[in-house]
Structure 1
Amino acid sequence: MGSSEERVVAVIMVGGPTKGTRFRPLSLNIPKPLFPLAGQPMVHHPISACKRIPNLAQIYLVGFYEEREFALYVSSISNELRVPVRYLKEDKPHGSAGGLYNFRDLIMEDNPSHIFLLNCDVCCSFPLPEMLEAHRRYGGMGTILVIKVSAESANQFGELVADPDTNELLHYTEKPETFVSDRINCGVYIFTPDIFTAIQAVSSQRKDRANLRRVSSFEALQSATRSLPTDFVRLDQDILSPLAGKKQLFTYETMDFWEQIKTPGMSLKCSALYLAQFRFTSPHLLAHGDGTKSTAITGDVYVHPSAKVHPSAKIGPNVSISANARIGAGVRLISCIILDDVEIKADGDYNAKLGVTILGEAVTVEDEVVVTNSIVLPNKTLNVSVQEEIIL
């Protein structure tokens, strides 16, 4: 493990049922962080990336979901990775930095020298060991993962300017109205424990301002609508923006893929990105077959060991098939996410075909049905072809 000074902990923000509403209807039946991408729960990808961090002591998942919704997954992933994973439920919204501060005593139990902070709804290669190495070289309080995007899309994210030689963060602004930079914040950070002092300072400033306002009842009335709770601290506006240019924050740029998983459509794209990454990180998870004695597999495909796929089916590219699914003879699947207990039948003269589609748990697709660009929620039976529909 190394000395206690070298220990690292990771905190993954998983949100809650009242957040991430743009991911509906996929999050109506399953918590968004547990929705499968490339056959693994969304949160599994950042967790498995954390496993590569040297001297990792603990992983914390922080969110608003009930603990019972994560209990089974947390137990299984802890055993699988042999790293302690713990779910921490927030009692109320504290903001992205306030949520971290709220659990500071637990996070600091292992006396970590560094704390990774990741957002669950980020899809990327998570170059965490490389970030840690760069962060130690910089010698600052924090390092932010950044990526270059098109100038047209940059204003959807936090834009930043960094020194081209030292990589110091010079300027940061969240979703600006006018163009600032084509470098954006990826939602992946590493901090020293000094981050807690910085968050505490924001809370203290708020308390001081609140006390000053009480001197004037008129001022209090004016500011009541726009003042934030003293323990609600946002990482972007309250920490990154004020500390930019003060030699405390630095950037690490990734040249690899990066996406935000906000909508159902993005889940298909990100599943494909993770499947492609498996070629390098987990090739044993990818299915193989040439169509002679086994199913014909094209491109990157994940098939759960308990799923049954007929040898005459044609699967791929970019398909993930979850537990206990049954895929019948001659079925064709392209760019699909198939959840647990789905059955796609093949009894007729024409084979079922599905493309760019997500099938929820225990969905049944009858023979000769064609489904394209659609989302089908759990426990539905499709006996007619559908295109560009959401079947609730």
Structure 2
Amino acid sequence: MVVKAVILTGGPSRGTSFRPLNLAADMPKPLFPLGGKPMIWHQLHSLSQVPHCTEVFLIGFWPEDTFTAFINQANEEFNGCFTVKYLREWQELGTAGGTYHFRDLITHNATAFFIIHSDIACDFPLNQLRAFHETHQGVGSIQATRVSRSSAHKYGCIVSDDKALAIHYAEKPDSFVSDLVSTGVYLFDVTLFDEIAAIIDCHYSSNIPQQEIGFDEHILRLEQDVIRPMADAHKMYVFETDVPWRPIKSAGSALPANELYLAQYQAKQGILLYQRGALDDASEKDSETEIVQPVTIDPSAHIARGCKIGPFVSIAANVVVKEGARVAHAVVQENTIIEPHCCILYAIIGARCRLAPWARVEGQPFTGDESAPTQSGICILACDVLVTRDVLIRSCIVLPNKSLSTSAASQVLL
């Protein structure tokens, strides 16, 4: 069975809750690094393990050149598995509208296709989902997982019977429906497009004004407009899995997602983790630098003597960490300078930041449901932020181009 895949990337007007991490022009949300790799690289890596997956389409309404460099690298890395292409919507069409618009490309020589949201972190058990899909006669399969009862209303909730048939779907319901929720990963037969056409015809043939039923002729939503009526018609099945899963909605939720991928690397013999002697800089002092795995460090980074890095740290290209610094549970983006004896804990540090000696940037450890779409205690510095000597920034969100000369806690620093 030849399959293809669609990764939904959204566009500039989406992902606003991810600010300030995506305010920089060169950092759209789908390319934010998690585990040392762009967010959507992980979907591609899992798709590369799926036999007979021939094409992957990134669909969104970003400018044409947004993914050019990434796609060139991906086509080189996954050469022999599939080709990656970006399909730009002529306007914002919704999570199903873009897929429907490009249906001829998606269905060509294919019998089924995955739809995967870009803003999720997961182990993506796609082969298991595919095997499950082949056992039933439905149009589509939803990958689902269990969450806490208190947080279920934040997701798309599914009610299924004992044969895994979805009998009801509710997107972010006001009251409790089910603790079984969609993970944003789907596998559909190409007949999905016949179902969508019928749904559109049904809306337009209805005598009820479209605005009263929440239907927009220009925007077609996958979950609300397509999956919900298909579940009511008993055409969707549910593949329940307990693999770790994190939604990536707010800026703070990127940190648990980063830790999920680092834990996966460690469980898989640490292939992508930092290895002693891996840095390009000859001044690396292995014997005097403590690395607590799991950690990823770009080879171009400079790590000085007496540092302690880890656990759960991702350090990007050209980062400089000077002597005596402590970094744990953190993402440090490219070209950032961490001066001597700084401390970074439970924080995301944007590109081109500078922390002066003895500065301290820290958030709060994750609490409660780590699959929650927000993590409000994480400290976040956007790009080009300066934290001066001896300053403590705790659980703050700092916008770009700020110079912080006084300590602050639990604030948004504009």
Q: By the TM > 0.5 criterion, same fold? A: yes
Question: SS state of the match for residue 199, structure 1?
Answer: helix
Query: Are positions 1:112 and 2:110 aligned together?
Result: yes
Please say if residues 202 and 233 of structure 1, whose CA atoms lie closer than 8 Å, have aligned partners that are also in contact. Answer: no
Which of structure 1's runs of 4+ aligned residues deviate more than 4 A? 223-227, 288-292
144, 147, 156: which one aligns with 1:146: 144
Distance 1:132 1:286 in 2: 29
How big is the shift at 1:245?
5.2
Please say if residues 70 and 87 of structure 1, whose CA atoms lie closer than 8 Å, have aligned partners that are also in contact. Answer: yes
1:324-335 alignment runs, 5 A limit = 324-335=318-329
Query: Are positions 1:375 and 2:380 aligned together?
Result: yes
Identity of aligned residues (%): 33
Please say if residues 252 and 380 of structure 2, whose CA atoms lie closer than 8 Å, have aligned partners that are also in contact. Answer: no
125, 128, 135: which one aligns with 1:127: 125
Kindly provide the amino acid, as one letter, of the partner of residue 118 in structure 2: C
Report the CA distance shift for 1:280/1:113 in structure 2 as closer, same or farther (over 3 A).
farther
Unaligned runs of at least 5 residues, structure 1: 1-5, 214-219
Please say if residues 203 and 231 of structure 1, whose CA atoms lie closer than 8 Å, have aligned partners that are also in contact. Answer: no
Unaligned runs of at least 5 residues, structure 2: 278-284, 364-378, 400-414
2:15 aligned partner: 20
Superposition RMSD on alpha carbons, in Å? Answer: 1.9
2:33 aligned partner: 36
TM-score, scaled relative to structure 2: 0.85
1:216 aligned partner: none
Please say if residues 206 and 230 of structure 1, whose CA atoms lie closer than 8 Å, have aligned partners that are also in contact. Answer: no
1:40-189 alignment runs, 5 A limit = 40-82=37-79, 83-109=82-108, 111-164=109-162, 166-189=163-186
Distance 2:138 2:9 in 1: 26
1:348-359 alignment runs, 5 A limit = 351-359=341-349
TM-score, scaled relative to structure 1: 0.90
Q: Which moved more, 1:302-311 or 1:111-120?
A: 302-311
Distance 1:117 1:187 in 2: 8
261, 271, 274: which one aligns with 2:261: 274
Distance 1:22 1:296 in 2: 35
User: Aligned residue pairs: how many?
Assistant: 371
Distance 1:121 1:329 in 2: 35
1:336 aligned partner: 330
Distance 1:334 1:122 in 2: 23
2:374 aligned partner: none
Kindly provide the amino acid, as one letter, of the partner of residue 335 in structure 1: H
Distance 2:203 2:92 in 1: 17
Kindly provide the amino acid, as one letter, of the partner of residue 329 in structure 2: S
Kindly provide the amino acid, as one letter, of the partner of residue 187 in structure 2: I
Question: SS state of the match for residue 233, structure 1?
Answer: coil
2:5 aligned partner: 10
1:366 aligned partner: 356
How big is the shift at 1:229?
3.5
381, 384, 394: which one aligns with 1:387: 394
Report the CA distance shift for 1:282/1:118 in structure 2 as closer, same or farther (over 3 A).
farther
1:315 aligned partner: 309
Please say if residues 145 and 185 of structure 1, whose CA atoms lie closer than 8 Å, have aligned partners that are also in contact. Answer: yes
Report the CA distance shift for 1:73/1:170 in structure 2 as closer, same or farther (over 3 A).
same
Report the CA distance shift for 1:224/1:322 in structure 2 as closer, same or farther (over 3 A).
closer
* 1:268-301 residue CA offsets vs partner (Å, 9 max, x unmatched): 1110011001123472211245986263111311
Please say if residues 246 and 257 of structure 2, whose CA atoms lie closer than 8 Å, have aligned partners that are also in contact. Answer: yes
Distance 2:195 2:304 in 1: 58
How big is the shift at 1:106?
1.5
| Higher normalized helix content (fraction of residues) | 1
1:3 aligned partner: none
Question: SS state of the match for residue 323, structure 2?
Answer: coil
* 1:172-222 residue CA offsets vs partner (Å, 9 max, x unmatched): 11122221111011110000001000111111122323xx57xxxxxx6xx
Distance 2:286 2:47 in 1: 39
Kindly provide the amino acid, as one letter, of the partner of residue 185 in structure 1: S
Kindly provide the amino acid, as one letter, of the partner of residue 255 in structure 1: D
Q: Which moved more, 1:379-388 or 1:299-308?
A: 379-388
Report the CA distance shift for 1:97/1:282 in structure 2 as closer, same or farther (over 3 A).
farther
Distance 2:334 2:93 in 1: 35
Distance 1:58 1:280 in 2: 29
